[in-house]
Amino acid sequence: MKKRNHLFLLFFMAPIMFWSCQQNQYPSRINIDEDIYLSDEGKEKIEKYLSGLEAQSASLDKESYLDYEIFLTVENSRKMAESQSDKQDWISQTLARVITDALVYPDDGMTLNVKFNQKQTQDRNYIYSIDSILLVNSLTHNLPGDAFQSQLEKAQVAYQNFDFEETIGHLNNVIDYHPEWVEALELRAQAFTEMEEYEYAREDYETLKSLNDSNYRYYYRLAEVGFAMNLYAFAQEKLDTVIMLTDSMNTATFILKGNIAMENLEMDQAEIYFHKAVELAPETQEVWLARREYYLKKDDDINACHDLIEASKLGPLSQEESLALKICAIYEQP
């Protein structure tokens, strides 16, 4: 009888124990340096956001000899690992704003360094200026009531669920009344881009640029949208502004410049840009895939296969790329 009772108890408790383990799989707690002061409400929002990212752990630190720098490290976020580059950038920007809002004593010129450590994908680093983020958030602080903030939060959830039409619907309700709300404009522009409504995305990015003409990201997004609309001279102009503002070129800039050159049939110039992208970030899958497209356009199947093989070592491929990889394997057989 006792044995039967134990079996019944085990049968009854097993689902609860399993549910409990699942609940603790992604802890929302964040370890905070004692020299960093956050509001209780702000800390709660940070932990809620980190829980939504399904991160294993996170820490917010401040080096004693660098009072103007804060370091956020997020370990193994499943949502970050599964997201595309555009969405990763948006996730990081949103997290940076949440932290900035939570700071009790933000100093002018303070810098927030956000780092995502991933076991199976490349680590990503983002650096934000606290004062510029606060400038952005000052637009939201003056909004009347919570109704518009609620609409924005619903839009964010819809975007994370890839429901871009619903995202835009919520954001239209916000922007119609507050046309200079930066966070809403940024998210709507990204949703329009996902839906390939490039003209509308361009309008939103132009509005954002007019609100902050020193933010190089808006010029880069305009360059991307312009390229998608076959406006290559426009895209090139915006990229030149990005380079002027940052005084540098990253892999994304090299790739987009290479794509523009390729569309303009400037193949020698395109080759230079794609080679530089690979040299700069050989651990990034997108640089190998970008250069592969260049080789395919030149009918250089050998080098195209080489770059596809290198890309396959860095992450999953699309269905078309996986099929091409099998064909490359056949070609390589003696």
In the chain, the percentage of residues whose pLDDT exceeds 70 is: 75
Average pLDDT over residues 262-286: 93
pLDDT tens, residue by residue, 63-75: 644 455 778 888 8
Q: Is the pLDDT of residue 229 over 60?
A: yes
**How many Cβ atoms are within 10 Å of 23's Cβ, its own excluded?**
9
Average pLDDT over residues 258-276: 94
Residue among 55, 64, 6 nearest 35 (CA): 64
Lookup result for tokens 């003696």: 334
Average pLDDT over residues 12-17: 42
Integer Rg of the chain from CA: 23
pTM of the model: 0.56
- Give the per-residue pLDDT at 258: 95
pLDDT tens, residue by residue, 188-224: 999 999 999 999 999 999 999 999 888 888 999 999 9
Q: Is the pLDDT of residue 333 over 60?
A: no
Q: Among 52-61, 280-289, 305-314, which stretch is predicted with the lowest mean pLDDT?
A: 52-61
* Residue 207: both structure tokens together: 């509005």
Of residues 140 and 154, more confidence is placed in: 154
Which range among 52-56, 122-126, 145-149 has the greatest average pLDDT?
Answer: 52-56
Average pLDDT over residues 155-172: 91
- Give the per-residue pLDDT at 11: 41
At 73, which helix (H) or strand (E)?
A: strand 69-77
Average pLDDT of the chain?
Answer: 79
DSSP 144: S
- Give the per-residue pLDDT at 228: 95
Lookup result for tokens 């930066």: 182
Q: Is the pLDDT of residue 238 over 70?
A: yes
Q: Among 113-117, 146-150, 297-301, which stretch is predicted with the lowest mean pLDDT?
A: 146-150
Give backbone dihedrals phi and psi of 123, rounded to 5 degrees, phi first.
-70, 150
Q: Is the pLDDT of residue 293 over 60?
A: yes
Average pLDDT over residues 180-194: 92
Average pLDDT over residues 293-316: 92
DSSP secondary structure string for all residues of 170-192:
HHHHHHTT-TT-HHHHHHHHHHH
Q: Is the pLDDT of residue 130 over 80?
A: no
User: C-alpha 288: how far from its chain's center?
Assistant: 20
Average pLDDT over residues 125-130: 54
- Give the per-residue pLDDT at 2: 43
Q: For residue 127, what pLDDT band results from cuts at 50, 70 and 90?
A: low
Average pLDDT over residues 50-57: 81
- Give the per-residue pLDDT at 234: 95
* Residues linked to residue 125 through DSSP beta bridges, in sequence order: 115
- Give the per-residue pLDDT at 48: 83
- Give the per-residue pLDDT at 108: 53
